[in-house]
Amino acid sequence: LGAQVVYGIVGYKTHAKLLLITRREGHKGKSTLRRYAHLSTGNYNPKTAKLYSDVGFLTSNPDLTADVDMLFTQLSSMTQLKSAKQLLLAPFNLQKALIRQIGRVAQSARDGQIARIVVKVNALTDEPLIQALIEAGQAGAKIDLIIRGACVLPPCVEGLTDNIRVRSVVGRMLEHTRVIYFRWGPSEHDEVLYLSSADWMNRNMTRRIELAWPVRDAALRQRVIDECLVPYQ
C-alpha cells in the first residue's frame, strides 16, 4: 500500500519516538480492534541503536494507546488536541506537569515525609525546571541528577543546592535514556516513574513535539530503577 508521509505541526520539530499498530483480533467468532503502541527514549535508527543506550516500551494499555492514536491524529490533521489520559506532551503540558510533580515532592519534604527526585537526561538547561528543582532541594527533598551533557544547575552550593547532586556518566555506549522518578511518601502509590523523549531544555519543552509516559506496572518500574538509575548513584 505504500507509505503516507506527513510533516507534523508547522513550526514544531517532531522529536517524539512512537509507533502504533491497530490490529483486528478474533476470538470465538467475534472480532475486535486492538491497539499496540511502542514508545522509545531514542530514535528508530539502526546505526544509533548499536551505539546508544535507550529504553523501548511496548504496551496494549487502552488509555495509553488511545493517547498515542490521538497524538498521531493531531500530527497528521488539523484537529484540535484532546486532553491525554497518560501521556505528557510538549509543548502542551509536559513542562507544567513536571513542575507540578516537583512541587508535590517539595511539599512532602516540608511535611517531613519521604521526598525524592532522580532525573536522568542528556541536558539540563531549562530555567523553570531548574528553579523548581532548587526550591524542592531547599525544602529538603533529596535530588540526584544524572546529566550526560550540559547542566547549568550548580550542585552542592551551600544554602542553595545543598541537597542536589549532579553526575555525568560517559561510558562505552552513549547514555541516551531519559528517566524521571518522583517519590513523595512512604507508600508504593506515592511514586511515579516516567520515560521520555525529551531532555530538560527550553527548546524541548516549548518548541518541539515531545512526550513522557508513566510506567505503571510495579515490576517494570522497579526494573527501570534497578537498571537505569541505581547503577549511577
Residue appearing with cell numbers 502509590: 189
Instruction: Look at residues 162, 112, 119 and name the one whose alpha carbon lies nearest to residue 137.
Output: 162
Cis peptide before 91 (omega within 30 of 0): yes
Active site residue 38: no
- State the catalytic residue, choosing from 15, 38, 176, 189: 15
CA angle at 43 for the pair 39 and 46, rounded to the nearest 5°: 115
Distance CA 222, CA 186 (A): 16
Q: Using an 8 Å Cβ cutoff, are 167 and 180 in contact? A: no
Catalytic residues: 15
